[in-house]
Amino acid sequence: MPYKILDSVVNSLDNEKYNFQIKCSMTNTQSTLNWEDSVPVTQEVEKSKPHINEQEQEQLIQRIKQVLSEQNAVLVAHYYTDPILQRLADETGGCVADSLEMARFGKENPADKIIVAGVRFMGETAKILSPEKTILMPDLNATCSLDLGCAPEDFIPFCDAHPDRTVVVYSNTSAKVKARADWVVTSGIAAKVVEHLSRQGKKILWAPDRHLGTYIQTVTGADMLLWQGSCIVHDEFKADALMALKQKHPDAKILVHPESAYTVVEMADVVGSTTQLINAVKFMDAQTFIVATDNRIFYKMQQAAPDKTLIEAPTGGAGASCTMCAHCSWMAMNTLQGILNVLEKGNNEVTVAESVRVKAYESTQRLLDFAAANS
């Protein structure tokens, strides 16, 4: 079920009240590593891809299908990847999913080899859960600003300084950060896990996404200390421009991924993981949707509800930079050619040191067990 923001929360939170009402502690924690200068621009990533015509594309697809089957390999793709990869995963018995389902699928599928079309933490999660399988990624440079912004050398001492708190980390983190955590969560289940822990009287140390943390704190009322990371794609959605767009489409429902800023989240009719947002398009009794998340998700939304109208939430407005323009540059690094290369050469294997993996397995498996018991 998508988390629908409570009307009372929507109505009672404007920016000033919001600062007053949120009970979680804001810290100035963030990674000391300077990674911001090397963030790729999505349009440049797209432009750097070799141009291939339809016939060449079809040949590539046929070759990949053949090699996948010869190698007993399966393709697992995130909703933010190029629709052509999503189609290929669907057509070859793989899966197109959110982070939670990607993890679950990779673990349960009998393939010897998993090709993860997504970002680094997704490949690492597959390795953490299935050490006996070979995990390959089309491009190992495909990472995530949340992962980069939560370096283990900063995060581990931060946890050590707060021994009274249960450490809950979002799956968009490195294996070392997961190894230090008590729980790993994804956006689809984070609020349920935190609610469960809060009911047991636990205080939470949350990392790395401050926006998701703020949202969860608001819906659960839990005591949360927040790491100050953010997703640079969702950070680009701006409330003022969204408000103007909504005025032009008053009947449209607003769907928001909770990695967006709280000023955007509070305008939403539905807040949820990628799968939950796709389900909202499919099941909600509305014709038009404004969608605040990576626009490659439109492929699955359109498949789920071909007659409905989807509008991209604006990345313009005050303070906007549009480096990503509603499409994650790291997700854009996944290509057909990249998939064929790793299958043929066996390179770009994802590895996780066994001492780290064993610890990260505990916190990640806890998520899968909780999801199985609470779905």
Instruction: Name the segment binding ligand SF4 (CB under 6 A); options: 45-53, 232-240, 241-249, 364-372.
Output: 232-240
* d(C-alpha 339, C-alpha 115), whole Å: 7
Q: Which of residues 259-278 bind ligand 13P (CB under 6 A)?
A: 259, 273-274
Residues 108-167 that bind ligand SF4 (CB under 6 A): 119, 144-146
Q: Which is nearer to ligand SF4, 178 or 234 (CB)?
A: 234
Residue 112 burial (CB count, 10 A): 13
Nearer to ligand 13P, 100 or 270 (CB): 100
Strand partners of residue 253: 289
* Segment near ligand SF4 (CB under 6 A); pick from 15-23, 230-238, 274-282, 309-317: 230-238
Give the residue with the Cβ less far from ligand SF4, 2 or 258: 258
Q: How many residues at the interface with ligand 13P, by CB under 6 A?
A: 12
Q: Which of 321, 325, 275 is nearest to 105 (CA)?
A: 275
Q: Identify which of residues 77 and 119 has a Cβ nearer to ligand SF4 in the complex.
A: 119
> What phi and psi, each to the nearest 5 degrees, are found at residue 208?
-100, -10
Q: How far is the CB of 215 from ligand 13P (least distance, A)?
A: 13
Shortest separation between residue 146's beta carbon and ligand 13P, angstroms: 8
Near ligand 13P by CB under 6 A: residue from 42, 186, 214, 260: 186
Based on the shown chain and the rule CB under 6 A, indicate whether residue 231 belongs to the binding site for ligand 13P: yes
**Minimum distance from residue 199 beta carbon to ligand SF4 (Å):** 28
Q: Is the Cβ–Cβ distance between 185 and 173 less than 8 Å?
A: no
First and final C-alpha spacing in the chain: 9
Give the number of other CB atoms < 10 A from CB of residue 21.
12
| Interaction of residue 99 with ligand 13P, rule CB under 6 A | yes
DSSP letters of 301-315? HHHH-TTSEEEEPP-
CA torsion 297→137→147→50, rounded to 10°?
-60
Find the DSSP H helices in the chain.
Answer: 7-12, 15-21, 42-47, 54-70, 83-91, 99-108, 120-129, 145-148, 152-160, 175-180, 190-199, 210-220, 239-248, 262-265, 274-283, 298-304, 336-345, 354-373
Instruction: Evaluate whether 30 touches 149 at the Cβ level (below 8 Å).
Output: yes
Q: Which strands sit side by side in the sheet containing 25-26, from one edge to the other?
A: 25-26, 224-226, 203-207, 165-170, 183-185
Chain positions 18 to 47 lying near ligand 13P, rule: CB under 6 A, are none
Query: If binding is defined by CB under 6 A, does position 97 make contact with ligand SF4?
Result: no
Quick one: what does residue 185 bind among ligand 13P, ligand SF4, none, with the CB cut-off 5 to 8 Å set by partner type? none
Q: Does residue 264 interact with ligand SF4 by CB under 6 A?
A: no
Residue with Cβ nearer ligand 13P (60 or 257) = 257
Residues that bind ligand SF4 (CB under 6 A): 119, 144-146, 172, 231-234, 259, 294, 328, 330-331
Residues that bind ligand 13P (CB under 6 A): 98-100, 172, 186-188, 231, 257, 259, 273-274
